[in-house]
Amino acid sequence: MSRASRIPSLSSKEELILELLVEQGEMYGLELVSASRRRLKRGTVYVTLGRMEDKGYVRSRLEPPPEGTGGLPRRLYEATPFGRRVLSVWTRVTRQLLPEFAR
Amino acid sequence: MTKGRRLRQWANRVCSARTMEQFIDPVIADLQHEYEQANTAGQTLRTTGVLLRGYGAFWRVLTVDVPAMWWRRTMDDLRTSHQDSFIRAVVPAAITMLMGSVALVVVPAQNINQRGVVGAWLLILLLPQSIPFSIPLSLFTGIVFGLRCRPLTTRVRRAVIVVGLAGTLVSAATIVWAVPVANQAFRTTIARRVILEGPAEMSSRELRDTALALRDRGALARAGDLLLSFHARWALAGAAFVFAVFGLGVAALRLGRIATVLIAATAFVVYVNYFFELSQSRLSSVFSHEGVAFTVAWLPNLLMVLTSLAFLTKRDPPRLSTGI
């Protein structure tokens, strides 16, 4: 396994999703899209969430199916303790690095 | 009827359970939820907007995001330190070369001289020629070294086949479309005037039509040359897939590093030399029979695939029992 794959990393979209989930708790994909002010797109948000789930940053559960409509149940996402820790370290590191490279 | 149900049924036939669960179902659930809300509130205009956005998201996920995610997972399946770097080097190079070739079509060959940037253009014009050789060689080397010490699971085999097919598609596009255009532009740039196309500058269709016309006129040797060139183009396009499978076969042999390098070098030199020798042979008139030209051009591919299958069916020797 390469070194890069051992160190957890966050893309800008993953960082944004984790920030929103940590701030606002459990959310639907569509809620994340509207809370992100167009930085996340419906559709692609689920690809990012799926990848984050694979990495262990978020977990999801299905809400009970809507009564009477026969529609599909929606999926709710929340940050895992690991995801919160990665975000916290990531934010701290980028805050420290940014002034160094902004000079 | 519940909105998106038919789309979901259709997607269910082409996507895995995991893809459905992670990507397709949430998009359809959003669509249904938003539609239900708008419908209950009696907002007809909003329901139309919801449906348009929902269906748009569905098709985007299915045609762009799921294939992209699947490709990434395929690469992950193949990922090892050696192979990863090879594939990472090959794919951008192939794409850059292909994009360069697109520019050639946009900029007519005559304009190249007028712009006075001959040197740089000559170099770019030669790039498409290298793609059909660089892709199979890079894929083969990457696969054979990347998989040397790894179990060849079904997922790995499938991933190799996908990568090989992708390489073949890029090669085919380059050989059939970009190489003739680049060759003609190269000649025009050198000659500083528009000159007639030779066999290497003709499109595949032109090549075949000219060959058949020459055969009808009795010029068998010339027709044979052109027909062989036509079939060799397509066979060469298939080389990426053939070499990917051959790499898998060689990896299954579990040879040492030196033996692997020797096999890789020999296979590639023999393959390229075969086509060179054919083009120099005096059997041109025999190749004017389409079946002969086709068979001769595709023979190396066929032999390599058969050899690879033989390698892949080779079983590891049974391990000695360490029974107590």
Token code pair at residue A31: 């809620």
- CA distances to B93, B132, B313 from B263, in Å: 25, 20, 18
> Which region holds residue B42: left if phi is over 0, alpha if psi is between -120 and 50, else beta?
left
A45, part of any domain: yes
B57 inside 8 A of chain A by CB: yes
Rounded-to-integer distance, Cα B279 and Cα B302, Å = 19
Rounded-to-integer distance, Cα B303 and Cα B300, Å = 5
Helix/strand/coil for A25: coil
Q: Give the angle B141-B143-B146 at the CA atoms, nearest 5°.
A: 100
- Using a CB-CB cut-off of 8 Å, the residues of chain A touching B8 are 72
Quick one: which H or E segment has residue A77?
Answer: strand A75-79
A4 inside 8 A of chain B by CB: no
User: CB neighbours (10 Å) of residue B18?
Assistant: 10
Give DSSP secondary structure letters for B173-238. Answer: HIIIIIHHHHHHHHHHHHHTS-----GGGS-HHHHHHHHHHHHHTT-HHHHHHHHHHHHHHHHHHT
pLDDT digits (tens, 9 = 90+) for A63-82: 887 776 678 888 999 999 99
What is the value of pTM for the model shown? 0.56
pLDDT reported for residue B248: 87
Rounded-to-integer distance, Cα B72 and Cα B163, Å = 11
Q: Give the angle A36-A37-A40 at the CA atoms, nearest 5°.
A: 55
A74, part of any domain: yes
- Using a CB-CB cut-off of 8 Å, the residues of chain A touching B23 are 46-47, 50
Nearest CA in chain A to B67: A47
Contact B29 A73 (CB under 8 A): yes
The answer to whether B128 and B97 have CB atoms below 8 angstroms apart is yes
pLDDT digits (tens, 9 = 90+) for B132-190: 777 887 788 777 777 766 677 777 788 888 888 988 998 898 888 888 888 888 777 77
Rounded-to-integer distance, Cα A61 and Cα A73, Å = 10
Q: What are phi and psi of B73, to 5 degrees?
A: -70, -35
Number of domains in chain A: 1
A2, part of any domain: no
pLDDT at B96 over 70: no
The lowest-confidence range among B28-37, B63-72, B91-100, B265-274 is B91-100
pLDDT reported for residue A1: 41
pLDDT at A18 over 50: yes
ipTM here: 0.82
Tell me, what CATH number does A91's domain have?
A: 1.10.10.10
- Using a CB-CB cut-off of 8 Å, the residues of chain A touching B65 are 43-44, 46-47
Q: What are phi and psi of B317, to 5 degrees?
A: -60, 140
Contact B65 A43 (CB under 8 A): yes
Nearest CA in chain A to B57: A43
Domain range for A20: 10-102
Closest Cα of chain B to A30: distance in Å?
A: 7
Nearest CA in chain B to A51: B69
Helix/strand/coil for A78: strand
The structure tokens 């892709």 sit at B135
B324 pLDDT band, cuts 50/70/90, is: very low
Q: What are phi and psi of A75, to 5 degrees?
A: -105, 130
pLDDT digits (tens, 9 = 90+) for A86-103: 999 998 888 887 776 655
- CA distances to B160, B245, B267 from B311, in Å: 15, 10, 14
- CA distances to A99, B64, B80, B88 from B76, in Å: 34, 18, 8, 12
